[in-house]
C-alpha cells in the first residue's frame, strides 16, 4: 500500500522507495531540512580540504593522497545527501532517482571507509618502515591503492543501477530500500571486515610505537633493557587521541553494519535511520579527526585565510 504525500512522516523521508514516478513530492519536514543542511556542511567542509591538498605541491606524500581521497569520498556523501533532498522535496521522486542517490551513497561511503583503512595502513607503514616510506615508490603504490579503492567502490555502488534492487520485488527489500537484503548483507559484511582490518592496523601501530619508544629509552639509559617501557609524558596524550579516533570510527560504522545484517524489510524504519545517521555523520567528523589535525594542512589553511600571518608561529601538536 502506497502512502499519500500528506501521510509521509519524517521516518519515511530518507530511504523510502515507495514513491512512484508520478506522485508529487512529499511535504517538507524537519528531517528533510536537517538532511539538506548536513549535506551542505559536509560538502563545503570536505571541498575546502580537497582543494587545499590538491592545490599545494608540497602535499604529495602518501598520507596526503589518502586524506584527499577521504575528503573526496566524504564530499560525494554530502552531494548525495543534498541530491536526495532535492529529489524528495523539490522534484517528483522516481525509481531512477532512488537508484542514483542510493548508488552514490554506497559508492561514497565505501570509498570513505576504504580510505580510512588506507590511512591506518599508511600510519602503520610509516612507523614500521620509517627510513624508506614516503619515497616516490611509496607514492606510486599509494596512487595505485587509491585507484583500486575507487574502482571497487564504483563497481559496488553501481549494483542498484545494474539491477540489484528491490523496486520490482518489495519482499526482497532490506532495511534500506531500494537495496536488496542480499546486497546489503554483502555490503555490511565488507564493512565489518574493513573495520576489523583497521582495528588490527591500529593495534599494530600501538605495538610498533611502544617498541620504538622502548628502544630509544633503553639506548638513552632511561631504564634497564629488560624492563617494559611505559610512556609518561607523550604516551597518555597519544593514546587518548588513538582511543578517540577508534571510538568515533567504530561508533559510526558498527551500528549500521550490524543492523544491515540482522534487519529486514519488516523491521522498524526508525532503527535504520538511527544506525545510518552515524555512518553519514562520519563524513562530517573525518576532516576534524584526520585532516585538520595534520599540522601541514593546518598551515596551508591558515596561510590561505591569513596570508600575512606566518604559519611557523603556530605551535601545532603532532597527530597520532
- The contacts of residue 4 (CB under 8 Å, 6+ apart) are none
Among 94-98, 151-155, 194-198, 227-231, name the one with the lowest average pLDDT: 227-231
- Given a cut of 70, whether residue 24 has pLDDT beyond it is no
Q: Quick one: pLDDT at residue 224?
A: 53
Cell 543501477 maps to which residue? 161
Task: Give the model's confidence band at 1: pLDDT under 50 very low, under 70 low, under 90 confident, else very high.
Answer: very low
Q: Quick one: pLDDT at residue 203?
A: 87
Report the percent of the chain where pLDDT is more than 70: 75
Mean pLDDT across 263-281: 81
Output the CA torsion sign for 286, 115, 159, 265: negative
pLDDT in tens, 131-147: 666 666 778 888 898 99
Which CATH architecture describes the domain 5-313?
A: Up-down Bundle (1.20)
Give the C-alpha separation, 289 to 292, whole Å. 7
Contact (CB, 8 A) for 243 and 149: no
Task: Give the model's confidence band at 16: pLDDT under 50 very low, under 70 low, under 90 confident, else very high.
Answer: very low
Q: Quick one: pLDDT at residue 251?
A: 87
Mean pLDDT across 273-288: 84
The torsion angle over the Cα atoms of residues 42, 147, 128 and 297, rounded to 10 degrees, is: -40
pLDDT in tens, 241-256: 677 877 888 888 888 8
Q: How many other C-beta atoms are found inside a 10 Å radius of the C-beta of residue 21?
A: 11
Task: Give the model's confidence band at 90: pLDDT under 50 very low, under 70 low, under 90 confident, else very high.
Answer: confident
Mean pLDDT across 287-301: 83
Q: Quick one: pLDDT at residue 11?
A: 41
Q: Is 42 exposed, middle or buried (0-12, 13-18, 19+ CB in 10 A)?
A: buried
pTM of the model: 0.79
Give the C-alpha separation, 182 to 165, whole Å. 10
pLDDT in tens, 142-190: 889 899 999 999 999 998 888 888 888 888 888 888 889 999 999 999 9
Q: Quick one: pLDDT at residue 4?
A: 41
Residue 35: name the closest of 88, 71, 75 by CA.
88
DSSP letter, residue 310: -
Task: Return the domain boundaries, the chain.
Answer: 5-313
Amino acid at each position: 500500500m502506497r502512502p499519500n504525500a500528506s501521510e509521509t512522516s519524517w521516518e519515511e523521508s530518507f530511504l523510502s522507495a515507495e514513491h512512484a514516478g508520478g506522485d508529487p513530492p512529499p511535504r517538507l519536514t524537519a528531517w528533510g531540512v536537517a538532511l539538506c543542511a548536513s549535506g551542505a556542511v559536509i560538502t563545503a567542509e570536505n571541498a575546502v580540504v580537497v582543494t587545499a591538498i590538491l592545490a599545494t605541491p608540497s602535499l604529495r606524500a602518501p598520507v596526503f593522497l589518502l586524506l584527499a581521497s577521504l575528503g573526496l569520498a566524504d564530499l560525494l556523501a554530502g552531494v548525495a545527501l543534498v541530491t536526495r533532498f532535492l529529489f524528495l522535496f523539490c522534484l517528483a521522486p522516481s525509481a531512477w532517482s532512488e537508484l542514483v542517490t542510493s548508488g552514490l551513497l554506497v559508492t561514497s561511503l565505501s570509498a570513505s571507509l576504504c580510505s580510512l583503512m588506507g590511512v591506518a595502513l599508511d600510519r602503520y607503514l610509516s612507523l614500521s618502515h620509517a627510513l624508506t616510506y614516503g619515497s616516490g615508490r611509496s607514492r606510486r603504490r599509494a596512487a595505485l591503492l587509491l585507484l583500486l579503492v575507487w574502482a571497487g567502490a564504483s563497481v559496488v555502488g553501481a549494483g542498484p543501477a545494474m539491477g540489484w534492487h528491490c523496486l520490482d520485488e518489495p519482499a526482497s527489500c532490506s532495511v534500506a530500500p531500494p537495496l536488496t537484503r542480499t546486497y546489503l548483507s554483502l555490503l555490511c559484511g565488507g564493512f565489518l571486515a574493513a573495520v576489523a582490518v583497521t582495528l588490527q592496523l591500529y593495534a599494530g601501530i600501538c605495538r610498533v610505537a611502544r617498541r620504538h619508544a622502548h628502544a630509544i629509552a633503553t639506548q638513552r639509559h632511561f631504564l634497564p633493557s629488560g624492563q617494559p617501557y611505559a610512556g609518561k609524558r607523550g604516551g597518555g596524550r597519544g593514546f587518548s587521541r588513538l582511543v578517540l579516533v577508534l571510538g568515533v570510527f567504530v561508533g559510526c560504522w558498527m551500528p549500521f553494519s550490524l543492523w544491515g545484517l540482522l534487519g529486514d524489510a519488516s523491521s522498524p524504519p526508525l532503527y535504520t535511520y538511527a544506525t545510518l545517521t552515524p555512518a553519514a555523520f562520519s563524513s562530517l567528523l573525518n576532516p576534524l579527526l584526520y585532516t585538520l589535525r595534520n599540522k601541514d594542512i593546518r598551515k596551508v589553511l591558515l596561510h590561505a585565510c591569513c596570508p600575512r600571518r606566518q604559519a611557523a608561529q603556530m605551535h601545532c601538536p603532532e597527530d597520532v
